[in-house]
Every structure is written in C-alpha cells, then in structure tokens.
Amino acid sequence: MTECGYNGVNIVEAYAALRNNYIEGSDGFYLTEKLNVAKNITVKCDRDCMEIKYLWINKNKVKIIIEFSGGTTEICFKENKNGTKVITKSYPD
C-alpha cells in the first residue's frame, strides 16, 4: 500500500498528475487519458491488464480497480479542502 497527497489540487488534477508521472508498466500507465467525473465506467484493456473499473463513491471520491491476470490494483482518490489524497493497494492472486 502506498499513499501520497496532492496539495491544493482537485481530484481531476491529481488524477492527471498521477497518470503523467507513471512510467510504462506501472499501474498508472493503464489509466484512461481523462477522468470521467461522476460516471461509473468499465474499460477493457488493450495491454497487460484485463479491465479497469471507475467507481464513484461520491463527488469527492473515486475508486479505480485495475484487474490483471495475476491480481488487482486499487487506486482511491479522495478530495478534501486541502487537496487530494491517493491511496494505492495491490492484491496479488
């Protein structure tokens, strides 16, 4: 499990920053280019992962589940008045 904070940015900005900072082969590499706010979607992967689920808990919290054949990664973005906190958990099979 890893946790990081993006001070002074909203959930969309934190998502873009996290996605842009990942390198090929890491979990953020599989995320869609833009975050669809308040819209639950499932995206099929065309690379190593099987699918990605974007599940909005409320307007300030989204849980992203990336399913691989060898396990699952969960990335949770939670926006508050100070910025956005991101918690990543990996669950190997």
> Which regions of the chain are under pLDDT 70?
23-27
26: CB partners within 8 A, 6+ apart: none
Q: How high is the pLDDT of residue 1? A: 85
CA distances from 71 to 34, 53, 67 (A): 24, 14, 6
Question: Could you tell me how many residues make up the chain?
Answer: 93
- Cβ atoms of 87 and 73 within 8 Å: the answer is no
pLDDT tens digits, 63-81: 999 998 889 999 999 999 9
Q: What is the pTM of this model?
A: 0.89
Whether 52 and 67 have beta carbons less than 8 Å apart is answered as: yes
Position 39 scores a pLDDT of 93
